[in-house]
Amino acid sequence: MSAVKHQGIDLSQVPKPPSETVQPNWRKVLGLQEMGVYYALALLIATLAGVTAYIGQDNYLSIQNLSNVIYQTSLIGMMAVAMTVVLISGNFDLSVASVAAFSAVVLVGNAATLGFWPAAGMAMGAAMLLGLLNGAIVVFVGINAFIVTLGTMTAVRGLILLYTDGRSVSVTVPEVTDVMKAFEGGRHEGFWAILIAGFVMLAYGAYIGLRGATAGQRLRPAVVGYVGGGLVLLLLCWGSGGELPIRNPVLYMAIFTAAVWFTLSFTKIGRRVYAVGGNAEAARLSGINVTKYRLLAFVFCSMTAGFAGILFASRLRSMNPSGLQGAELTVIAAAILGGTSLFGGAGSVIKTLAGALLLYSLTNGFNILNLGANWQGLIEGCVVVAAAAIYTIGDKRSKSKTGG
Amino acid sequence: MQAQPPIMQLQGVEKTFANGTKALRGVNLDIAPGRVHGLLGANGAGKSTLIKILSGAYAASKGDIVWRGTSVRWDSPKAANRMGVATVHQHIPLVPTLSILENIFLDDDGLWRGSAAMRKRFDGLCQRMGYWLNPDLAVSDLSIGQRQMVAIFQAFGTGADLIVLDEPTASLALDERELVYSAVKQLSKVEGKAVLFVSHFLDEVMALTDQVTVLRDGVVVMTAKTADLNESLIAEAIVGKHVAALEHAPRHHATPAAGGAVPRLTLKNLASPGRLHPMSLSVAPGEVVGLAGLLGSGRSEVLHAFYRADTSATGEVLLDGKSFGRSTGAAVAAGIGLVPEDRNRQGIIPDFEIWRNVTLPALDGITTSGGVLSQKLERARGWTAIRALAIKASSPDILVTDLSGGNAQKVTIARWFFSDVKLFLLDEPTAGIDVGAKADILRLVRQLADEGRSVIIVSSEFEELLAVCDRILVMRDGRCIAERSADETSEHDLLLLAGGHGGADAVPATPPHFIGGRNE
C-alpha cells in the first residue's frame, strides 16, 4: 500500500520484481495428479518385466518387445495427441476413428488409378473436410460436440460402407504397394540419434540446473525432467547393445508429438488454445478469435486422423469397411489417462502419449503372459476409471486446500 | 431487546487451512434474535470463512460454536440447517429449470411435486413476508432480485432461527435491493429471527443493522451498536487506517471534441436489435464517461455493441477517426480494452496463474526474437501487475481462482496495461470488492485519464461515477435517456432518471432516496 498503486498504466514507476527464486511445489509436481500416468506406466512395465522374468519367459524389456509396443501405439498415439488438442480447446471428437477409416478407404480405393501420393493427398483432403464439417456444425450451429461427432462418427462409417459396398478393398499394384511399404514399413537405425538426444537432454538439464544453483535458485522441476528424460534415453541405448531400430510410424509420432507439444507450450497459438478451453467468453473478450481456434482444432484432429488412416492402410495395403471401429474410445481413453480435462483448458500431449503407451503395454502384457484377451477389456476399463478417479480426487483436494 | 440472550455465540474460533493459511485467528461473535447483525471486512479478511463455519461447510480448527446455549459441532450444511441455521450464499444456488415453489422446498422430504400442503406453506410464507411470488414460474424466468428473494424464502422456509445473508445485494439494482431490505426487516423485527448480514455497502449496513462487527486479517477489530457509528468509522475499521473519501477534486475536465480535435471514440447510430436503441456518442481523449443505469437498462449492452462482442450490433464505430473490423480481436487491436461485468464468467481463465491471465490479450510483446513465448518476460509482467495494482499475492504463480474478488478484478484490469490501450471500458469494476480495492481502482481511472486515455465506466454506484467521471449518460430500457455533466448533477438526480417510472413491474414502489441518503 505504498505509492505504487497510484501509477496506473504508466508503469515506469513500478518497482522491479524481486530477484525471486521460483519455489517449486514439489509435492504438487511429483503428486499423483501431475505424474500419475508416468508412475502407472513405470509400475506396469516393472511388473510385467518382473513377472516375465519370474515365469521364465522372454525378457519383457527386450528392445524387440519394447519397440513393438511403441510401434503398436503409434497410430492411436498420434490421434490421441490431436484429440488432446480438441479437448483442451473445450470440445470433443468421437469421429476420429471413422475419419481415419474413411481416409484409409479413399487411399486404397484410389491409389491404383491415381498413384500413392495423389491418393494420399486426396485422403488427407477428405479427412480435413470432415473435420471442417464437424467444427462448422459445432461452432456455427452451436450443437454440443459430443452429439455432432456421435452423428458424424456413424454417418462417416455409413459413407465407408457405401463407398466400398461393404466389401474389403485392397491395392495390388506393385508400384503402389512398394511406396506404401517404404512409407509405413521403413526402418531407421536410431541408436546414435537417441544416444545424442539423451546426452543433449542430460547436458541441457545439467546446464540449467547448475546455472540456477549458482544463481541461488532451488532445484526446478524442468531440470529433473530433462535429466530424467535424458537418463531414460541413455539407459535405453545402453540396454540395446548398439541397435535401436525405429520404424517410420514411431518416427512420425515422435516428430508430431514434439511439434504439438512445442506449439502448445511455447507459442501464442498454444496459449490461446488453452485460454479458449479454459473460459471461452473471457478469451473472446480478450480479443481472441474463439471461433477460429475451435474450428481449427477440429480440422487439426481430423487431419491427424486422416494421416493415421493413411498409415493404417499402408500397413495392411487393404481396408476392411469396419477397420478401426471402436478405436475412438481407445484414443479418448489415452487422453483421459494422461489427465486431460474433459471440460477444456487443461491437458498435456506428452502425458496423453504416456497414457496411450500404458494402454498398449497392458494389451501387450496380456498377450505375452497368455492371460487371454477376455480379461483385457475389464482391466482396461478399470484402469481408465481409476485414473479418472485419481485426477478428480486430487483436483478436489488441491482446491479445498487453498479455499477460503 | 437488550435482555435477549444471544442465540449464536462464537468463542475464539480459529481456522487454519491445510496449506498453512490462517483465515481466522480467534473470533468472538454474539448474534441476538430479533436483530440484524452486520458483518464487514475487506476481501480476504475472513468473512467467507466465518460464514462457511457458521453454515457447516467448514469445521473450525479451534474454538466453540455455542448455539442456544449449548456448544455444537456441525459437520455439514445439512446438519447446521437442521439445527436452525440457514445461509443464503452470494451466488444464489437455485435450480433454474424448476419452479419457485419447488426451489423453495427443494430439500423437502415429501413425495409429491408441488403438493397442496406445500402450496399452503408457500402461501403462509408469502403472507408472513408480505411479498408475493407466483409459485409456478420457473426460476430461470426471474430477475436476479427475484431470485434473491426466492433464496431468502428458501432459507426462511426451513424455519431457521438464524439466517445468514452473504452479500445479498451485491449484484442487485437499486429497486431490487429495496426488496431485500424489507425482507430483512420483516425477518428480524416481525418474525424475531436473528440475521447475519454481510455486505460491502456501508450505507445499507448503517440503515439496516442494529449491531456491526468488522473483521480484519482474521480477527474482530470492531464490535459496536450501529447507532454509535458512522460510515467513516466503519470504513476506517475495515481498512485499518483513515481513508479519505474520494475527493471530488477539481480536475481538468476533458470536454468532448475540444478544440476540434479528433474524438477518441465516435458512435453513430449504434444499435442492437432487442437490446439497444440507436444511440450516438463522442468521447474525447482523456475523458471519463459514466454510464449510469439499473441492471438490464442496456449499460453493458452499449459496451458490448461497440467492442464488437455483440455480433448483431449495427451502426458506425470510429476510434480516433478510424473504423475497425467487426470482431473483439479487431477492437483490441485498435486499442480498446474491456473489463467485463462478471469476472468469473467473462473475465478470468480459471486454470491460469496470475501471469498467464495478465498476458493474455497482448502476447506480442513477450516473445523472444524467434516468436516463442518467454516465461521470464511473462512472469515479469505478472510481477508488474501485482506491484502496480497492489494485488495481494505472494507471486504471479498463484492461480487466479485462489485470489479474493477484488484481487481477481485487479488482474482482469491489469491485462490491459501492456499494450497501448486508448479506451478502457470498465463494466462495474468495483462490484463486490472492498473499500480499499475500490479506492485503488477509482484512483487508477483518474490516472489513466490524466495520461490521455479515455475511460467509459458502467456502475450501479452513482456516487462513484460522480467522483470520477466528466460526463454521465443515464440509460433506461436500452436507450440513453439523459446526459449530464458530473459537476451539474447529483446522485439523487441520477437515481430519479435511472429509476424512472413505469418500469417497476413486480416490484413495490420505493422511495428512491433510501440509498441516496448517504449523500445528505
Task: Look at residue B255 and tell me whether its pLDDT is greater than 60.
Answer: no
Alpha helices in B307-430 (DSSP H): 328-334, 354-358, 375-388, 405-414
State the Cα angle at A230 between A226 and A235, rounded to 5°.
150
At B328, the pLDDT band (50, 70, 90 cuts) reads very high
pLDDT band at B242 (very low <50, low <70, confident <90, very high): very low
Query: Measured between beta carbons, which residues in chain A are less than 8 angstroms from residue B356?
Result: 271, 274
The model's pLDDT over A105-134, given as tens digits with 9 standing for 90+, comes to: 999 999 989 989 999 999 999 999 999 999
CB contacts of A278 in chain B (<8 Å) are 349-352
Domains of chain A: 31-48+58-190+244-390 (1.10.3470)
**Is the model's pLDDT at B263 over the cut of 70?**
yes
Per-residue pLDDT, averaged over B454-466, amounts to: 86
What distance in Å separates residue A356's CA from the closest CA in chain B?
Answer: 25
Q: What residue of A is the nearest CA neighbor of B445?
A: A8
DSSP for A253-313? HHHHHHHHHHHHHHSHHHHHHHHHHH-HHHHHHTT--HHHHHHHHHHHHHHHHHHHHHHHH
Instruction: Tell me the mean pLDDT in the region B195-201.
Output: 86
How many angstroms from the chain centroid is the CA of residue A372? 28
pLDDT at res. A395: 67
Query: According to the model, what pLDDT value does residue B515 have?
Result: 32
B460 vs A146, residue with greater confidence: A146
Which among A17, A23, A346 has CB closest to B380?
Answer: A17
Q: Strands (DSSP E) along B4-127, which ranges?
A: 8-16, 22-31, 36-41, 62-67, 70-72, 85-88
The model's confidence at residue B500, banded by pLDDT at 50, 70 and 90, is low
Q: How many CB atoms lie within 10 A of CB B112?
A: 9
Q: How confident is the model at residue B190 (pLDDT cuts 50, 70, 90)?
A: confident
Selection from A246-255, B51-60, B233-242 with the highest mean pLDDT:
A246-255
Q: What is residue B111's predicted lDDT score, i.e. its pLDDT?
A: 72
CA-nearest residue to B360 within chain A is A286
DSSP B502: S
Contact A287/B49, CB-based, under 8 Å? Answer: no
Architecture of domain B8-239: 3-Layer(aba) Sandwich (3.40)
pLDDT the model gives residue B368: 81
The pLDDT score that the predictor gives to residue B520 is 31
What secondary structure letter does DSSP report for A137? I
Q: What is the mean pLDDT of residues B310-337?
A: 90
Per-residue model confidence (pLDDT) at position A302:
97
Helix boundaries (H) for B322-457: 328-334, 354-358, 375-388, 405-414, 435-450
Q: What ipTM does this complex have?
A: 0.82
Average pLDDT over residues B354-374: 86
Tell the residue number behind the cell numbers 461485468, with chain if given.
B341
- Mean pLDDT for all residues in chain B: 82
Could you tell me which chain B residue has the CA closest to the CA of A7? Answer: B388
Chain B: closest CA distance from residue A208 (Å):
14
Q: What pLDDT is recorded for position B405? A: 77
For the cut 80, the answer to whether the pLDDT of residue B248 exceeds it is no
Per CB-CB distance under 8 Å, the chain B contacts of A266 are: 372-373
Task: List chain A residues with CB under 8 Å of B325.
Answer: none
Q: Do A281 and B346 touch (CB under 8 A)?
A: yes
Contacts A404 to B, Cβ<8 Å = 15, 17, 21, 23, 46, 48-49, 52, 58
**Chain B residue with minimal CA distance to A343?**
B351
Beta strand pairing status for B211-216 and B36-41? Answer: parallel
* Cβ within 8 Å, pair B331-A283: no
Higher confidence at residue B22 or residue B50? B50
Q: Between residues B169 and B338, which one has the greater pLDDT?
A: B338
Return the SS3 of B409: helix
- State which CATH number among 1.10.3470.10, 3.30.230.70, 3.40.50.300, 1.10.3720.10 fits the domain covering B260-519: 3.40.50.300
B390·A267 Cβ contact <8 A: no
Contact A8 B447 (CB under 8 A): yes
pTM here is 0.79
CB pairs under 8 A between A and B: 141
Pairing of strands B194-198, B36-41: parallel
Q: Do B402 and A402 touch (CB under 8 A)?
A: yes
Which three cell numbers, joined as nine digits, stand for A133? 464439417
DSSP string, B82-111: HHTEEEE-SS----TTSBHHHHHTTT---S
Q: Is A266 in contact with B373 (Cβ distance < 8 A)?
A: yes
> Which residues of chain A are under the pLDDT cut of 50?
1-8, 400-404
Res A93: pLDDT: 95
Q: How far is CA B107 from the centre of its chain?
A: 28
Q: Nine-digit cell at B62?
A: 479451534
Q: Which residues contact B444 (CB under 8 A, 6 or more apart)?
A: A5, A8, B389, B413
Q: Which residues of B touch A31 (CB under 8 A)?
A: none
Mean pLDDT of B53-61: 86
| Interface probe, candidates B48, B387, B453, chain A, greatest A C-beta count within 10 A | B387
Is the confidence at residue B399, as pLDDT, over 80?
yes
Q: Give residue A103's pLDDT.
A: 96
What pLDDT, on the 0 to 100 scale, is given for residue A81?
97
Contact A156, A99 (CB under 8 A): yes
Q: Determine phi and psi for A209, rounding to 5 degrees.
A: -65, -45
Residue count of chain A: 404
Q: Give the strands of the sheet with B479-485, arranged side by side.
A: B336-339, B423-427, B454-459, B288-292, B471-476, B479-485
Q: Tell whether the model's pLDDT for residue B504 goes beyond 70.
A: no
Picking from A1, A278, A402, the nearest residue to B19 by CB comes out as: A402
Q: Domain coordinates of chain B in residue numbers? A: 8-239, 260-519
Q: What is the pLDDT of residues B90-129, one digit of tens each?
A: 777 788 888 888 888 887 777 777 678 888 888 888 888 7
Confidence at B506, pLDDT banded by 50, 70, 90: very low
